Chains A and B, each alone.
Chain A
Amino acid sequence: MKNFIKDLGYKFNISEIEYQRKNLTFLTIDKENVVQLLAYLRDYEGFKHFVLMTAVDWIEDGIFQLTYILNSPEKKIDLGIRTKILREKAEMTTVHHLWNQVATYQRELKEMFGIDFPGSPRVDESFILEGWDNIPPMRRDFDTKKYAEETFFPRPGRSTNDPSEYMKQKLYPNE
């Protein structure tokens, strides 16, 4: 695994390497080189299986972190490719030409995070939020509790207790 990553480092400009497990490693790379790296891994290194693609909203740094996870059935290792894109200009090159199923992940990311993938098939159609007219719900500045209280009809009477405080009052009321 480490030798393979080392060889990969000669060919691509990898900025960060995180060895998660014996068979899982995360690499961080510029957004310009992602498509090239993914195509290289698929065509030359046998990473045929596209596992998933996801995003993380680092609102404090103003970036979205995209993660593509690939699996090699021959090498029996997983490789996570991370990249960072700006939050204001949330746009990424589509890679649906390498694996067809990527288009679905990209469509979901467009809806949930508002990350645009120009040219990806059906990326502008609604996926599960039909007729959504607010900011994308998976962005961290979206307040889901406030939205739910305004939109749906909360049943009155719901209250929550802090378990430690509640037990303290119940067991030692005089203290």
Chain B
Amino acid sequence: MNRLTATEDKLPASVFGLPTNFLKMKETDDNDKFLHEENKKREATAPDGSIIEIDPMQDYFCDARPQVSEPYKIKIVEKFLNWARSESIWVLGFGTGCGSIEIPPLVTPRFDMFRYGVQMRPTPRQSNAFIISGYLSVKTLKRVIRSYEQMQSPKYVIALGSCTINGGMYWDSYNTINRLDQYMPVDVYIAGCMPRPEALLAGFGKLKELIKTGRAEKANEYVENFDWYKANQKKIIKDWNMPDYNW
């Protein structure tokens, strides 16, 4: 009996179904109701013993708006930079739909995308191209936006498959978006359901051509029409619980 009372004292409040900081939690307004537990406003004890208030959405994330990346002033340098960019397209390893099955063959010797300077990277911080491979559910779109905004400019988006163009065979689904360009800027579309790996290689060729001629400026378009894109995104992502722009 004694042992039981002793352990009960040590147990955190979450064992009894309450969040651990239940007593410290404040009343939240409507915008905060979807926030995860770790992102809610709370009070914490600093190392010197004083109690400080933490608002993670303000304190942990940058709230600066994205900026347009201007081309280099000297034209020939910009041209050289564009050539260099076109020769190293690093793709984020993020498969959204059935099209993600078409990407692994590109890594095999038969198609070998490395010869074009295209390779897969594990994190958005290291990559500059995003392949939206097929249908996109609203839940995935939320993750896609977060990953896309973390990528460094200049960045490019390749939309693979007809689902990204007009919804494809999922055009009347309650859960998949119809047109990707309403939520993200798209540089190259690859039509088909599903496109073969050769079509993807052709898409990379087209993207390279665009970059070399300085026309792959969709990341800047996203920045210029930031409010329009955000409004569209928030229209369908109803539990918006992340910062508006995250780096």
Give residues in A with beta carbon < 8 Å to B. Answer: 126, 128-133, 137, 142, 144-145, 147-149, 151-155, 158
Contact = CB atoms under 8 A, between A and B. Distances in A.
A133 B238 contact: yes
Nearest to B240: A131
Interface stretch (B87-95, B136-144, B199-207): B136-144
Contact of B171 (A129, A130, A148): A148
Contacts of B178: 148, 152-155
Given A130-B139, A154-B167, 6 more contacts: A130-B138, A131-B239, A133-B238, A137-B174, A148-B173, A153-B178
Nearest to B34: A131
B48 interface: no
Interface string B202-242: 00000000000000000000000000000010011111000
B184 interface: no
B182 interface: yes
B179 A155 contact: yes
B166 interface: yes
A150 to B, nearest CB: 10
Contacts of A126: 239
A129 B182 contact: no
B172 A145 contact: yes
A129 B165 contact: no
Contact of A128 (B167, B175, B235): B175
A142 B174 contact: yes
B95 to A, nearest CB: 16
B225 to A, nearest CB: 15
B141 to A, nearest CB: 10
Nearest to A134: B174
A131 B238 contact: yes
B177 A152 contact: yes
A152 B238 contact: no
Contacts of A142: 174
A133 B173 CA distance: 16
B174 A128 contact: no
A151 B237 contact: no
A128 B232 CA distance: 20
22 contacts: A126-B239, A128-B137, A128-B139, A129-B139, A130-B238, A131-B237, A131-B238, A131-B239, A142-B174, A144-B172, A147-B174, A148-B172, A148-B173, A151-B236, A153-B179, A153-B182, A153-B232, A154-B167, A154-B171, A154-B178, A155-B165, A158-B166
A129 B165 CA distance: 22
Contacts of A137: 174-175
A144 B174 contact: yes
Contacts of B166: 154-155, 158
Contact of A152 (B179, B237, B239): B179
B15 to A, nearest CB: 14
